[in-house]
Amino acid sequence: MRRTIIVTLLFAASLLLGAACGDAAETERPDQAGFVSSDVQRVLSPVVPASEGEELVAGSNEFAFDLYRALATEDGNLFYSPYSISLALAMTYAGARGETEQEMADTLHFTLPQDRLHPAFNGLDLELASRGQGAEGTDEEGFRLNIANAIWGQEGYSFLERFLDTLAENYGAGLRIVDFEREAEKARVTINDWVADETEGKIRDLIPPGVIDDLTRLVLTNAIYFNAAWLSPFQEPNTEDGPFHTLDGREVQVPMMSQLASFGYAEGEGYQAVELPYDGEELSMVVLLPDAGEFEAFEGRLNADLFSSLAEDLTRRQVVLTMPRFKYESTFSLSDALKELGMPTAFTEFADFSGMNGEGGLYIQDVLHKAFVSVDEKGTEAAAATAVVVGTTSAPSPDVELTIDRPFVFLIRDIQTGAVLFAGRVLDPTA
């Protein structure tokens, strides 16, 4: 069966995008070249009640930890951007209707109606974009939390006016005309190059060969790139090789960074937590260290409520902190996890994405994700990408000494909103 393919891509940090509740009765608006585009501008001052912003973040964080538990069943280190994944799926959700729309809303914890959801994400996106004014990055370029959106559409293909308007109005994503039918490989390279540019080269070849072909009709792209220095950097002369104890009982030698500083610190049943703020004190990394022998049990009960509670318990303490330097990349398909989390219809021929083209006949073929993280003495560099492929049919005495020498969980969050932008675990820093 011939199938039209729509690919949705996105990065980092976190953002959701969608079209308003259009239907098949909507008209198409061709531009001078005969293609459908939007002439509306992005709303730079969206009116979003505080309660709706909080509701959006709460739902997004619920999905972040649902997905963590689903992905944690695989072996090895893990890193992903729940914010990015939510955005990519929300772009797709913009065109979802009926049972497909409801299943996606339930799985993604979208509790706001579509006409309020997308402005709320626009508001969150713009708020995040304002972070880090005057703050430092890990290099000489300064703090970056960069987010970019673009839409790549098939030459001559018709999309609903309200679908395109919603993308433009809430995400500044204009339609870029490409020719998937005759030059699919060229289009793939063009989009991958855009992704690499927007992530400063950290995410390359997001769309592998063969995913885009002559049946592709739309690619929605979002890129997020994060680069921030610690508020309290580790001093490199203090870094020494030390033991890290893996879950299987091995002991590996890794570079262990160390410092004495004032950090947010909390203890709970079976874990310790420490918060490392980035320069500017607007974002932070929260490291969760389960007690020895309790990693799996802690993972099993880690959810948004637990994280919210421990975040509130963080209090300033003098901490001797020792933790590994690490850098790695994660790549995986999210389709099975999303089906298990409650949105199976979107992956079948019964899916309803008629809000994209007014006709339907589209379904999600795969959801791909790729993420990169590097943590060292200076700070953190992170990027992530998601592709939703849619087809038709001297110091004071320390209070605490914390050595992170066994598997741990870490999350990068926006302090003011509480939004979790990245999440991961380190089982073996040498892997």
Does the structure show a pLDDT above 60 at 20? no
Written as one letter, the residue type at 346 is: A
Q: Is 7:218 a contact under the CB 8 Å cutoff?
A: yes
The reported pLDDT for the residue numbered 114 is 95
Query: pLDDT grade, residue 393 (50/70/90)?
Result: low
Q: Is 199:148 a contact under the CB 8 Å cutoff?
A: no
**Of 317, 261, 260, 263, which Cα lies nearest the Cα of 286?**
263
Provide mean pLDDT across the span 17-39: 41
Token pair of 310 as six digits? 């421990």
Q: Which residues face 318 on adjacent strands?
A: 262
Does the structure show a pLDDT above 60 at 22? no
Provide mean pLDDT across the span 225-248: 96
Specify the domain boundaries for CATH 2.30.39.10 within the chain.
Answer: 231-324+395-426
User: Helix, strand, coil % (nearest 5) of the chain?
Assistant: 30, 35, 40
Specify the domain boundaries for CATH 3.30.497.10 within the chain.
Answer: 5-228+328-392
**Of 368, 383, 376, which Cα lies nearest the Cα of 329?**
383
- Give the Cα separation of 284 and 138 in Å (integer): 14
Segment among 96-110, 130-144, 348-362 with least mean pLDDT: 348-362
CA–CA distance from 349 to each of 1, 168, 352, 362, 369 (Å)?
11, 29, 8, 7, 23
Percent pLDDT > 70 in the chain is 89
Query: pLDDT grade, residue 66 (50/70/90)?
Result: very high
pLDDT in tens, 265-320: 999 999 999 999 999 999 999 999 999 999 999 999 999 999 999 999 999 999 99
Superfamily of domain 5-228+328-392: Antithrombin, subunit I, domain 2 (3.30.497.10)
Contacts of 54 (CB under 8 A, 6+ apart): none
Provide mean pLDDT across the span 1-23: 33
CA–CA distance from 26 to each of 9, 161, 164 (Å)?
26, 7, 12
Which architecture, in CATH terms, is 231-324+395-426? Roll (2.30)
Percent pLDDT > 90 in the chain is 61
Query: pLDDT grade, residue 10 (50/70/90)?
Result: very low
Written as one letter, the residue type at 37 is: S
More confident residue, 24 or 428: 428
CA–CA distance from 373 to each of 105, 379, 384 (Å)?
29, 11, 9
pTM greater than the 0.95 cutoff = no
Q: What is the mean pLDDT of the chain?
A: 86
Does the structure show a pLDDT above 90 at 39? no
Q: Is 28:36 a contact under the CB 8 Å cutoff?
A: yes
Does the structure show a pLDDT above 50 at 406? yes
Does the structure show a pLDDT above 60 at 123? yes
Query: pLDDT grade, residue 151 (50/70/90)?
Result: confident
